[in-house]
Amino acid sequence: MNILVVDDDTVYLDIVQRSLNKAYPHVDIIVTANGKEAITICQSKEVDLILLDVNMPIMDGIKVAKLLQHTKKTENIPIIFVTSTCYADFEKEGFDLGTVDYISKPIERNILINRVGLYITIIEQNKLLQNANKKLKKRVHKIEDQNKMQEQMLIHQSKTSVMGEMIGAIAHQWRQPLNIIATSMINLETKSELDMLSYQEIKRINSKVNNTLQFLSKTIDDFRNFFVLSKGREDLNLIDVVNSTIQLVSTQFSSHNIDINFKYNKDDTYLINGFYNELRQVILNLFSNSKDAIEIRMKSNDDLEGKINIELQKDVTSIDVIVCDNGGGISKDITKKIFNPYFTTKFADQGTGIGLYLSKTIIEKIHHGTIEVYNKNEGSCFKISIPNIN
């Protein structure tokens, strides 16, 4: 700690320096008889406290304080004014310039030591607090970095989990087209053996097979693009986002007797600024959870027809994406925990418990929106609200 004592009285300087050195040997006492030199010292050294004489030739204490206050490096140095006259005339001005206290001359040694000791204690405690804050900030940054790494791991785990869903969807998407190709080839072979194959028939079958192959190729592209992170924010039409997600799973869901109904006002536009694939991942996760709930309910009700309704609603500031099912709903105890990481009601081989947590992260942190869950009629509903583009 450095204390600067400024006074044109060299005898006084010597007394103060010796008294403070003896009382506080761990503190460096710097002395100068010149206001200008005091400014230079404060610029070149770390000064923690200044004892500043008010009445000095060349540059008085008030001017020194003003210059110190208007320099960033020195603006917060506490100043104790020392004066042999009544300080009432410049009391307000002094406090405005960063003065924390006044000591009158002639100075009593005990008053000087006790007064300076008080500020030494305050400054030391403040330094300890600053060091603690620095350490705390480092710990916070470290924890933030760890959280980012954990979040990246969660995203990777979620992608892996969703990939299983996608493989199942691909299998259902491809089954019918592959049957079409197989049937076409059988027809081609049979008609060739019966000598019933005309040029027009070959052309028709070839066109049918090519169209089917293009569909298969497009399916692969759709699924491959699903796992590519969006390049950046862009203006999105939520109708397109939802439709493309439905297209990925519609065949698979239909094979499980689950219909997806999409409702929105055709006269409205549903534009937001966000990330295309990340939003599709959220919607797909909600579809997958609804499918699992419906299938569990179907085991005890053979006549149940699975339904997933997704609706877009718009107001002045936001667009709501509401996904509801008839899977029996969610108990209140579970709704309180449903967005927690690794929370799942499924068996270990059926769910990781990170899908809804990641969905919440994508909606809240990336899209500055909200997501909530509630029960309605025979199932549960998830409501996503995202700021719209006015």
Looking up residue 322, the CATH number of its domain turns out to be: 3.30.565.10
Average pLDDT over residues 82-99: 62
- Report helix, strand or coil for 49: strand
**Taking 80 as the threshold, does the pLDDT of residue 289 lie above it?**
yes
Structural domain includes residue 218? no
Q: How many domains does the chain have?
A: 2
Structural domain includes residue 166? no
CA distance readout (Å), 322 to 253, 300, 368, 379, 384: 19, 27, 17, 13, 6
Q: Which residue has the tokens 């583009």?
A: 389
Structural domain includes residue 163? no
Whether the Cβ atoms of residue 50 and residue 1 lie closer than 8 Å to each other:
no
Measure the CA–CA gap between 36 and 33, rounded to whole angstroms: 9
Which pLDDT score, from 0 to 100, does residue 354 have? 60
Structural domain includes residue 360? yes
pLDDT digits (tens, 9 = 90+) for 206-254: 888 887 787 777 667 666 665 556 567 899 999 999 998 898 888 888 8
- Report helix, strand or coil for 311: strand
Measure the CA–CA gap between 258 and 251, rounded to whole angstroms: 10
Structural domain includes residue 189? no
Measure the CA–CA gap between 307 and 289, rounded to whole angstroms: 13
How many whole angstroms from its chain centre is CA 89?
Answer: 54
Whether the Cβ atoms of residue 45 and residue 38 lie closer than 8 Å to each other:
no
HSE value, Cβ hemisphere, 13 Å, CA-based, for 237: 8
Average pLDDT over residues 123-150: 84
Average pLDDT of the chain to the nearest whole number: 83
Q: Which residue has the tokens 């209140």?
A: 332
Measure the CA–CA gap between 311 and 305, rounded to whole angstroms: 19
Residues 239 and 382 in one domain: yes
> Which of 57, 79, 107 represents a domain boundary (last residue)?
107
Q: Which residue has the tokens 């005990």?
A: 110
Which pLDDT score, from 0 to 100, does residue 278 have? 84
**Taking 70 as the threshold, does the pLDDT of residue 163 lie above it?**
no
How many whole angstroms from its chain centre is CA 137?
Answer: 17
Torsion of CA 386, 292, 296, 262, to 10 degrees: 50
**Residue among 227, 229, 266, 222 nearest 244 (CA):** 222
Residues 233 and 373 in one domain: yes
Collect all residues with Cβ–Cβ distance below 8 Å to 295 and sequence separation of at least 6. 256, 306
**Taking 70 as the threshold, does the pLDDT of residue 326 lie above it?**
yes
Structural domain includes residue 129? no
Q: In angstroms, what is the C-alpha Rg of the chain? A: 38
Which pLDDT score, from 0 to 100, does residue 379 have? 93
Measure the CA–CA gap between 363 and 134, rounded to whole angstroms: 32
pLDDT digits (tens, 9 = 90+) for 10-27: 888 999 999 999 999 999
Residues 99 and 240 in one domain: no
CA distance readout (Å), 232 to 118, 213, 273, 284, 367: 56, 32, 10, 20, 12
> Which of 107, 128, 153 represents a domain boundary (last residue)?
107
**Taking 90 as the threshold, does the pLDDT of residue 205 lie above it?**
no
Which pLDDT score, from 0 to 100, does residue 357 have? 80
Residues 237 and 383 in one domain: yes
Structural domain includes residue 117? no
Whether the Cβ atoms of residue 260 and residue 246 lie closer than 8 Å to each other:
yes
Measure the CA–CA gap between 291 and 326, rounded to whole angstroms: 9
Q: Which domain holds residue 69?
A: 2-107
**Residue among 355, 336, 334 nearest 345 (CA):** 334
Say if residue 232 is exposed, middle or buried (CB neighbours under 10 Å; 0-12, 13-18, 19+).
exposed
Q: The domain spanning residue 61 has which CATH number? A: 3.40.50.2300
Structural domain includes residue 343? yes
Which pLDDT score, from 0 to 100, does residue 348 have? 40
pTM above 0.85, yes or no: no
Which pLDDT score, from 0 to 100, does residue 198 have? 85
> Which of 47, 76, 107 represents a domain boundary (last residue)?
107
**Residue among 188, 378, 145, 154 nearest 281 (CA):** 154
CA distance readout (Å), 191 to 102, 128, 188, 216: 112, 92, 5, 26
State both tokens at 225: 């693009």
